[in-house]
Chains A and B, each alone.
Chain A
Amino acid sequence: MATDAPPPEGTSPGGPAQPTTEAFVAMQASPEFADLRRSHRSFAFPLTIAFVTWYLLYVLLCNYAGGFMATKVVGNINMALVLGLAQFATTFLIAWLYSRHAATKLDPKAEAIKSRMEADV
């Protein structure tokens, strides 16, 4: 594929060592990398769809379910405030879940691939 200008990567002296294109293509096709990709996508993609859906549901409830959102829960605290705070809670929860998944499932696999490729450079 022709490019108008060389990409900056690899052109700077003193930058990190770069594997060859062949090494990248071979790695991308390897089962090891497919496993890493699957571990990331099968976790991040469904979770993204879930929190965006949950957020949109909240926006739609605000718009079209005024009666439900106005329901008093405790004192002057109504359903709208509870669901709004629930958005905060789920955001913190998802950030924690993802970070735990990344630390246990993604980082070791990524690290293994990285050190193997670095050894071959």
Chain B
Amino acid sequence: MSAAHTLHPAVQLAATEGASEHRPLIITLFAAFVVATLFITVWAGRQTKSASDFYAGGRQFTGFQNGLAVSGDYMSAASFLGIAGAIALFGYDGFLYSIGFLVAWLVALLLVAEPLRNSGRYTMGDVLAYRMRQRPVRTAAGTSTIVVSIFYLLAQMAGAGVLVSLLLGITSDAGKILIVALVGVLMILYVTIGGMKGTTWVQMVKAVLLIAGTLLITFLILLKFNFNISDLLGTAASNSGKGAAFLEPGLKYGATGVSKLDFISLGIALVLGTAGLPHILIRFYTVPTAKAARKSVNWAIGIIGAFYLMTIVLGFGAAAILKPGDIIASNKAGNTAAPLAALEIGGGSGSTGGAILLAVISAVAFATILAVVAGLTLASSSSFAHDIYANVIRKGQATEKEEVRAARWATVAIGIVSIALGALARDLNVAGLVALAFAVAASANLPTILYSLFWKRFTTTGALWSIYGGLASSVLLVLFSPVVSSKPTSMFPDVDFAWFPLENPGLISIPLGFLLGWIGSLLSKEKPDADKYAELEVKSLTGIGAH
């Protein structure tokens, strides 16, 4: 194939240059998305009156609508830009992300979504604390919700800063901070005005845009190879300079025994993380019944599965039509491989087709980030208002109005915190932060969710040990891992306090979270609350008395 050699030499800076040539087009598309979504937000805000409207969108969405919104909430910058980039750079090893992110949905479908919908009301903490002493467990659930969401938010903000500034050709620090601040302000507006209803519609629009944009690029790449996948893979392999190894596992994780363990650790975190992500779990409250929640997950599995299948073409396609040196020159982590592939497949740098496709894909990436940060902000502010403010600080005596007001103020506070952190973290590794959020969710949240629903001897002590133990161990292990120090790619490359060799803590912290919940329950003197368990179990399986 000659495709690999038709690149203009200036493609190294293609994203930046292509963008600056056609910056008006990109800005117009960005602005169109912002205006449309703000319009939706204001419209949704007018219909948001009760606490149930704000937290759960009035529980009036259909299974399909919510499935679309779940997909929009789940497919983040890490999915879209990160996976395509990882495959483009490391070949097959990048594909594990797609598989783990998808298979993970079965845990949600078989064990979590329906019981959660039946027994909870607004937050993950509703289910975690159901059988337990309310104040300590809600405090723990709120803490872990906010920690997981902030890590996830940080990744999206850092991604937004890097990506948008690159595409708009903004290179100054002040410009990048301005972009992060803009994203932060938009997400505060979406959530405070539109609540769950507005956020859900923004996520649905984004999901449609993301699928349509990805389909278009996938189709064009396949067309270039006459729909011959084998040919596409072969070209990617030879063009990568790695040969057949590019199509085999091991290029990134196969080097040493430790890196292989890291691969297992990442694999476990991915597959067990999803069902513990608060911003995903609260989406199931937006439908009226458990049956509709099941339908949402099925739609989500279909949509997300189709999307991840396309990441194969996107990633290997980028490797086939771009030079690996160009991908790395544009972004070390490969995060711009998908936009670069769009530019190239549309006719290359300087062509109108390329510029239009680049603008479309950039706008899709921007929409992706905005919809996900809105979902994350809503999850953490809901948990603060409902779990910590209403049930811990006000001991269940707050009125609905006071609760929603607290949620809106919490949104503003979390928005400001993430703008500040995002501005500081704009040079950090995005994929590492997302995998960390998955590992923390699987270690701190999933054990307590599963024990609460299915194990009658589970106690408050067990829940607290599991949540705090899983949270502390996963965060501390990352702090002392190569993600933070010791390597050139670390957050602090010049110091070395990394005594934990793995980049992902899941291999240790997830079993620890399960173990602590079990030991804590067996060692505590308190008896499990049998009456409350009867209530939770009957509710979770039948939906009697569900809100």
- CB atoms of A110 and B543 under 8 A apart: yes
Task: Identify which of residues 494-547 in chain B touch chain A, using a CB-to-CB cut-off of 8 Å.
Answer: 526-527, 529-535, 537-539, 541-547
- Mask, A88-108, CB within 8 Å of B = 1, is 100110111011001000110
Q: A9-B121, A25-B531, A113-B542 are in contact. Are A77 and B230 (CB under 8 A)?
A: yes
B325 at the interface (CB under 8 A from A): no
B111 at the interface (CB under 8 A from A): yes
Q: A24-B538, A102-B294 are in contact. Are A118 and B92 (CB under 8 A)?
A: no
Residues of A within 8 A of B234 (CB): 75-76
Residues of B within 8 A of A84 (CB): 92, 95, 99
Which residue of chain A has the shortest Cβ distance to B545 in the bound complex? A18
Residues of B within 8 A of A18 (CB): 545
- CB atoms of A66 and B254 under 8 A apart: yes
Q: A59-B96, A63-B264, A69-B248 are in contact. Are A117 and B395 (CB under 8 A)?
A: no
- CB atoms of B547 and A78 under 8 A apart: no
B contact patch SS: helix
Which residue of chain B has the shortest Cβ distance to A95 in the bound complex? B301
Task: Identify which of residues 71-93 in chain A touch chain B, using a CB-to-CB cut-off of 8 Å.
Answer: 74-78, 80-81, 84, 87-88, 91-92
* Shortest Cβ gap from A79 to chain B (Å): 9
- CB atoms of A91 and B233 under 8 A apart: no
Q: Which of A7, A21, A62 contacts B249 (CB 8 A)?
A: A62
* Shortest Cβ gap from A37 to chain B (Å): 7
- CB atoms of A1 and B298 under 8 A apart: no
Which residue of chain A has the shortest Cβ distance to B306 in the bound complex? A88
Q: A8-B396, A24-B535, A92-B305 are in contact. Are A76 and B233 (CB under 8 A)?
A: yes
- CB atoms of A63 and B253 under 8 A apart: yes
- CB atoms of B267 and A88 under 8 A apart: no
- CB atoms of A4 and B291 under 8 A apart: no
B260 at the interface (CB under 8 A from A): yes
- CB atoms of A36 and B542 under 8 A apart: yes
A contact patch SS: helix
- Size band of the A side of the interface? 35 or more
Task: Identify which of residues 238-295 in chain B touch chain A, using a CB-to-CB cut-off of 8 Å.
Answer: 244, 247-250, 253-254, 260, 263-264, 267-268, 271, 291, 294
CA distance A25 to B533 in the complex (A): 9
Q: Which of A62, A92, A106 contacts B301 (CB 8 A)?
A: A92
Q: Which of A12, A19, A64, A88 contacts B309 (CB 8 A)?
A: A88
Chain B interface (Cβ < 8 Å from any Cβ of A): 92, 95-96, 99-100, 102-103, 105-107, 109-111, 114, 121, 126, 129-130, 133-136, 229-231, 233-234, 237, 244, 247-250, 253-254, 260, 263-264, 267-268, 271, 291, 294, 297-298, 301-302, 305, 308-309, 390-392, 395-396, 400, 454, 526-527, 529-535, 537-539, 541-547
Q: 5 new A-B pairs (CB below 8 Å) besides A7-B134, A55-B271, A59-B264?
A: A4-B133, A16-B546, A28-B534, A58-B99, A95-B106
Chain A interface (Cβ < 8 Å from any Cβ of B): 1-12, 15-19, 21, 24-25, 27-29, 33, 36-37, 40-41, 44, 47-48, 51-52, 55-56, 58-60, 62-64, 66, 69-70, 74-78, 80-81, 84, 87-88, 91-92, 94-96, 98-99, 102, 106-107, 110-111, 113-114, 117-118
**16 A-B pairs whose Cβ atoms sit less than 8 Å apart in the complex:** A1-B529, A3-B134, A7-B130, A9-B547, A15-B547, A16-B545, A24-B531, A29-B534, A37-B541, A56-B264, A60-B264, A66-B250, A69-B248, A81-B233, A84-B95, A87-B103
3 A-B pairs with least C-beta separation: A75-B230, A62-B249, A1-B529
